[in-house]
Amino acid sequence: MHEMSLCEGMRGVIEDQARQHNVSRIKRVRVEVGRFAGVEINALHFAFDVVMRGSPAEGAELVTLELPGRALCYDCMKEVEIADRLDPCPTCGGGKLMPQGGDEMRIKDLEVA
């Protein structure tokens, strides 16, 4: 979707953190991305390399960790894990599922070079 603006958001967070911790180079950035976050991982890597130029994370490795998709089933009222946004409820087969998580886009940690 908007991988460029996501990376601009990441750059802002990374610059703030680098300043606070008084570090000039970051060599690895680990991000957690939910299955339902709508983030295209390849596009994210591409945008990351472009957007980080001139920042402490220029040339850094981007590691993406996928988080599972969770949803509340309106038929059996259980919270279930689903692989795909439109999957039926694995417990009762129902089709009315409200996502409860899996839309995360979080920077987990930064490895200082």
Partner 1 sequence: MSQERLIEIETDILSKNDSYAHANRAVLAGKGVFAVNLVSSPGSGKTTLLCKTIEALGDMPLGVIEGDQQTENDADRIRATGAPAVQVNTGKGCHLDGHMVGHAMEHLDLPDGAMLFIENVGNLVCPAAFDLGEDGKVAILSVTEGEDKPLKYPDMFTAARLAILNKIDLAPHCDVDLDLYETNLRRVNPGIEIIRLSARTGEGMADWLAWLRAHLADKVVPEAAQ
Residues at the interface with partner 1 (CB under 8 A): 1-2, 5-6, 9-10, 12-13, 17, 21, 23, 25, 31, 36-38, 74, 85-86, 95-99, 103-113
Position 32 contacts Zn ion (CB under 5 A): no
Q: List the one residue out of 71, 74, 67, 112 whose CA is nearest residue 96.
A: 74
Instruction: Please give the Cα distance from 5 to 1 (Å, whole number).
Output: 9
Residues in 70-109 at the binding interface with Zn ion, rule: CB under 5 A: 73, 75-76, 89, 91-92, 94
- Residue 12 contacts which entry, partner 1, Zn ion, none (Cβ below 5-8 A, type-dependent): partner 1
Is 60 or 89 the residue whose CB approaches Zn ion more closely? 89
- Residue 49 contacts which entry, Zn ion, partner 1, none (Cβ below 5-8 A, type-dependent): none
- Residue 92 contacts which entry, partner 1, Zn ion, none (Cβ below 5-8 A, type-dependent): Zn ion
Report in angstroms the alpha-carbon separations of 71 from 46, 86, 95, 108: 30, 11, 11, 23
Is 94 or 101 the residue whose CB approaches Zn ion more closely? 94
Instruction: Please give the Cα distance from 25 to 50 (Å, whole number).
Output: 16
Tokens of 25: 């180079």
Handedness of CA 44, 42, 82, 28 (dihedral sign): negative
